[in-house]
Amino acid sequence: MKLYRFLTGPDDASFCHKVTAAINKGWHIYGSPTYAFNSATGAMQCGQAVVKDVEGVDYEPGIRLSSF
């Protein structure tokens, strides 16, 4: 099964650490990062899609993607 996650966070080192942690758990960058202004917080937000292939697991809507 192929898993997909979209990681988001503030434009600071914590976002880079979130993406780095995902890569080190076997996730792969998928597409280009995004960068947008969040008018609710008044801050810039980053986003990056990541994917991962997992064998022997069937997809279910309740699956916790961050546990992989």
DSSP string, 22-44: HHHTT-EEEEEEEEEEETTTTEE
**Count of structural domains, the chain:** 1
Whole-structure pTM over 0.95, yes or no? no
Task: Determine, yes or no, domain membership for 25.
Answer: yes
- Residue 26 sits in which domain range? 2-51
Task: Determine, yes or no, domain membership for 65.
Answer: no
- pLDDT per position as a tens digit, 29-57: 999 999 999 999 999 999 999 999 999 99
Task: Determine, yes or no, domain membership for 67.
Answer: no
Q: Assess whether pLDDT exceeds 90 at residue 66.
A: no
The mean pLDDT value of the chain amounts to 95
Task: Determine, yes or no, domain membership for 62.
Answer: no
Q: How many CB atoms lie within 10 A of CB 36?
A: 11
C-alpha separations of 27 from 20, 52, 64 in Å: 9, 5, 14
Task: Determine, yes or no, domain membership for 63.
Answer: no
Task: Determine, yes or no, domain membership for 47.
Answer: yes
